[in-house]
Structure 1
Amino acid sequence: MTAQTSILLVDDDRAHRIMLKVNLEQESYRIFECDDGDQVLSMLEKHAPHLILMDQKMARMDGLEALELIKKKGYTIPVILLTAFSSVKQAVSAMKNGAFDYITKPIDIEELLLLINRALTYEQIEQENRQLKERIGEQFSFSNIIGNCSSMQDLFQNLRIIAPTDATVLITGESGTGKELIANALHENSLRKDNVFIKLNCAALNENLLESELFGHEAGAFTGANKQRKGRFELANGGTLFLDEIGDMSLPTQAKILRVLQEGEFERLGGSTTIQVDVRVLAATHKNLEDMISEGLFRQDLYYRLSVVPVELPPLRSRSTDIPELCNHFLRKYAQKNKKDIQGIHPEALSILTQYNWPGNIRELENTIERAVILCQGEYVSFRELPTHMVPKSLSDNISQPDDPQFTLRDMEREVIRSTLALTNNNKSETAKKLGIARQTLLNKIKEYDL
């Protein structure tokens, strides 16, 4: 550990405290100390140590009482108790109440150092996990999902009400509209967010494999089943299970899913033991399940069980006002990934992207921007980096192509400035802002290119 790693030493035996301090300082730990448990909270506020090494028996407040106060205040700092052999039972009980571990007196310094290192390593991993969960929570916060149009804002308002409940949710929408993203957000904003989130694409497996994946199997249940395996329902116990493309599930499998939703129980393939689970199910499909019901391809009772709360995602073509923000989001993502210094999207290209119909929805948009970033050789993505089927023929015919030996970077820069001026009705300040350059630089360029 580094010299900055600090330990709060709490012991009313001054000689014992000095001995520990000397040994720990030799290992480059920074030591703060106090002589009783009633001083611990003030020391935590003042010094914010990384670990507490605390005697169990002290005059005014013993270690167990101090530990209780530490946990009540919400501190997650690891606590190691120093205890006599006669008090081991109490120390073990303290571990159940939040102590990291205990060590018996007389203290073996080597053993203590190993224990301290283990506690600090564990706390570092826990802190990283907490930070990761916070980042995931932020990523899947409804406010961080791009969608400023009225239909998306109405959707977010409903999702905020739905998320904290245990209601089964059926998410529908065309392929590429972000159904899995919404499922992630529902879980991360639910009361189950600290438990597992298991996903399964029902369209990716045949019927036999799908049942095995869902319910698990016993050894010998079928050829190749050499050992027992838990299914997704069992693995998701206490958490959330997301069943994507549920419209691709066969009728026999649908019947088994219905039983789990109704009874909360199932048997593994090849087994007879009934397994109880507590799982919240989120399902998604791009198919019209009501049409499938009328055609006898989907169970009506399962549909009603799944669509306790139906959520329909609008296609991207109906929310064109969100396209510029989505484009910029994906541009930043893939510019960083590909280590490219790209400042933005040329207004001409952005106009094409906004007017395109997007049959593949957000997934197609993301792929388009990733491709454009990879092909882009300048500071701005132009129409030349877009798929040819998106670009109007009149535009591609009237402007020199990049492989034209007469087309230069100066030509591209002049065209970017000309188009942006047209977009802003010749507003110089607004044009400079959009291009990310100083107004005087823009004026110099206008004079240079005689615009």
Structure 2
Amino acid sequence: MARILIIDDDVDILSAAKLLLKRHFGEVTIEKNPERIPFLLGNYSFDLILLDMNFTRDVDSGKEGFQWLDKILDIKPEAKVVLFTAYGDVEMAVKAIKLGAKDFVLKPWENEKLLETLHEALNETSGNEATAKHQLIGESKSMKEVFERMKRVAETDANVLILGENGTGKDLMAQALHRYSLREKQAFVRADIAALPDTLVEAELFGYVKGAFTDAKDTRIGKFEEAQKGTMFLDEIGNLSPVVQSKLLHVLQNRSLMRLGSNKEIALDIRLICATNENLSQRVAEGSFRQDLLYRINTITLEMPALRERDEDVELLAEHFLKTYAQKYNRTVDGLSAGLKKELYRYNWPGNVRELQHAIERAVILCRSRTLSVEDVFEHGHMKPEKASTKSFDLESMERKLIAESLKKCKGNISDAAKELGLSRAALYRRIEKYGL
């Protein structure tokens, strides 16, 4: 019953796509003018957006596609966007994925491939990511200890707080907790607080009734109600405003909620999992996070180790991502060179597993032989082996460095870093994803 929006300035493409997709989805809306995107998103609800990358003004660079992708994610940070491109520019499409798109499809498309891609992207809406790409993998002592603790905790309904740097796999640990729990057959619902504008957080989490505020044209349930009987995962919980912290505390204490604009209590039965890269105890001491809420959410704490603390897993993860992306992109790449294995261990991986994943994905796409080399992984990206001393002054490298320094200065606080950099939280969050920070 999913609602699909297709945006392409080629009417033949629109007609063909609609003819195919209307047999598989609940509702398919087509639009040839991208200028109508803000109106459509403001007045209608879509589960997935299929967006062309090249429009009339800019035939083959993808620039307009990037601009509209950014606009969509500013309006609806939680939007699921899959890209259309007719030029086979895989590297351009991968860049768009780093900026927030879920996947891409090349024109002319294969029907089964298009349907498979859309279904995978839609499955992420409820937090179920494709297991071929996203698994918790590790043989190191630190990861085995986390796995063991997770399995013991998962069987209970205890609230869990997952700690760790960006890119360590906190979201995957939350999914693992759900899969091993007694609620595994129920919904797993994810809400990324950092990606939601402050003004929308309360409405997204708790829902609202028609007329609750200016744009509330219909009654809508929130994420917590979607998770009824299942698991609710609040990612980057440190970004909650004091007002929403207070309301969340009320929900946890009373096991019930009220939608915005309503005075009716709705009984709630969920298992809560939260995650953050911040030091919440320090935030409590500073007065920016409620101590009573912290007590409620961290009945059990799981800490994800940084990749630099689990060297034994680097090669294992690299080989896993190599196999995954060689299959996805139909590449005949099947090994890591001895030199590359050495450099993988030497590199510090500040972006953790996410950075390694992106590096291997890019290398698989660009590699011209059957074996990945040092140059494939490090020289084609913006990473450099530890021994390299040459400085890079390209704009993306400078932006990455500036963002990393700001995050460090602000101790991982997304809101403070965004304010210092002059970005919205959603825009900063997309750049963090892009650079694997």
Q: TM-score, normalised by structure 2?
A: 0.57
The equivalent of 1:275 in structure 2 is 266
Give 1:262's aligned residue. Answer: 253
Pick closer, same or farther for the CA change 1:392–1:139 going to 2, 3 Å: closer
1:170 paired to 2:179: no
- The equivalent residue for 2:235 is 244
Give me the whole-angstrom Cα distance separating, in 2, the residues matched to 1:163 and 1:359: 29
User: Any idea what SS the aligned residue of 1:156 has?
Assistant: helix
On the 8 A contact 2:210/2:219 being kept in 1, the answer is yes
Q: Tell whether 2:346 aligns with 1:355.
A: yes
Within the candidate set 152, 161, 183, 2:143 is matched to 152
Matched, 1:208 2:199: yes
1:358-397 to 2 correspondence within 5 Å? 358-388=349-379, 389-391=383-385
- Give the whole-Å Cα distance in 2 for the aligned partners of 1:280 and 1:259: 15
Q: Secondary structure at the match of 2:234?
A: strand
The SS at the match of 1:219 is coil
Return the index of the structure with the highest Cα Rg.
Answer: 1
Matches within 5 A, 1:9-24: none
CA distance in 1 between partners of 2:238 and 2:137 (Å)? 27
Give the distance between the partners of 1:139 and 1:277, measured in 2 at CA: 29
CA distance in 1, matches of 2:340, 2:144: 27
What do residues 268-317 of structure 1 show as CA deviations (whole Å, max 9, x unaligned)? 10111111110111000011111111111100111111100001101000
For residue 191 of structure 1, give the secondary structure of its aligned residue in structure 2.
coil
The Cα shift of 1:387 comes to 2.5
Q: Secondary structure at the match of 1:366?
A: helix
How many Å separate the matches in 1 of 2:253 and 2:207?
19
CA-atom RMSD in angstroms: 2.2
Q: Structure 2 CA distance, aligned partners of 1:138 and 1:250?
A: 32
For residues 388 and 277 of structure 2, the distance between their equivalents in structure 1, rounded to whole angstroms, comes to: 35
Could you tell me which amino acid in structure 2 is paired with residue 308 of structure 1? T
Cα 1:225–1:358 shift into 2, 3 Å: same
Structure 2: runs of 5+ lacking an equivalent = 1-122, 391-437
Q: How many angstroms apart in 1 are the aligned matches of 2:131 and 2:204?
A: 28
Q: Does the CA contact (< 8 Å) of 1:171 and 1:311 recur in 2? A: yes
Pair 149,268 (structure 1): closer, same or farther in 2 beyond 3 Å: same
- Aligned residue number for residue 334 of structure 1: 325
SS of residue in 2 equivalent to 1:257: helix
Shift of 1:393: 5.5
SS at match of 2:274: strand
- Return the alpha-carbon distance in structure 1 between the equivalents of residues 305 and 387 of structure 2: 29
Identify if the C-alpha distance between structure 1 residues 192 and 267 changes in structure 2 by more than 3 Å, giving closer, same or farther: same
Residue 235 of structure 1 and its aligned partner are, at CA, apart by 1.2
Q: Deviation digits for residues 111-139 of structure 1, max 9, x if unmatched?
A: xxxxxxxxxxxxxxxxxxxxx9xxx8995
Relative distance call for 1:394 and 1:282 in structure 2 (3 A) is: closer
2:286 pairs with one of 292, 295, 301: 295
TM-superposed deviation, 1:391: 2.8
- In the alignment, the residues of structure 1 paired with residue 374 and residue 316 of structure 2 have an alpha-carbon distance, to the nearest angstrom, of 18
- Between the aligned partners of 2:340 and 2:147, the Cα distance in structure 1 is 30
TM-score normalized with structure 1 length = 0.55
Q: Deviations over 1:194-248 (max 9, x none)?
A: 1111110011112331100111001000011011100111111100000000000
Partner Cα distance (2:334, 2:304) in 1: 31
Q: Using the TM superposition, give the Cα deviation of residue 377 of structure 1 relative to its aligned residue in structure 2, in angstroms.
A: 0.3
Output the amino acid matched with 1:391.
P
Rounded to whole Å, the distance in 2 between the matches of 1:391 and 1:234 is: 47
Match of 1:438 in 2: none
Aligned to 1:311: 302
Note the C-alpha offset of 1:395.
11
The percent of aligned pairs where both chains have the same amino acid is: 44
Unaligned runs of 5+ in 1: 1-131, 397-451
Q: Deviation of residue 159 (structure 1)?
A: 0.7
Any conservation in 2 of the 1:320–1:355 contact (CA below 8 Å)?
Answer: no
Query: Is the CA contact (8 Å cut-off) linking 1:348 and 1:383 kept in structure 2?
Result: yes
Q: Is the contact between residue 346 and residue 385 of structure 2 (CA under 8 Å) also seen in structure 1? A: no
Quote the offset at 1:386 in angstroms: 2.1
CA distance in 2 between counterparts of 1:366 and 1:211 reads 33
Segments ≥4 residues shifted beyond 4 Å: 136-140, 392-396
| Aligned residue identity for 1:296 | G
Alpha carbons of 1:394 and 1:187: their partners in 2 closer, same or farther (altered >3 Å)? closer
- Contact 1:137–1:189 (8 Å) recurs in 2: no
Change (3 A) 1:223 1:386: same
Aligned ranges for residues 38-437 of structure 1 at < 5 Å?
139=131, 145-388=136-379, 389-391=383-385
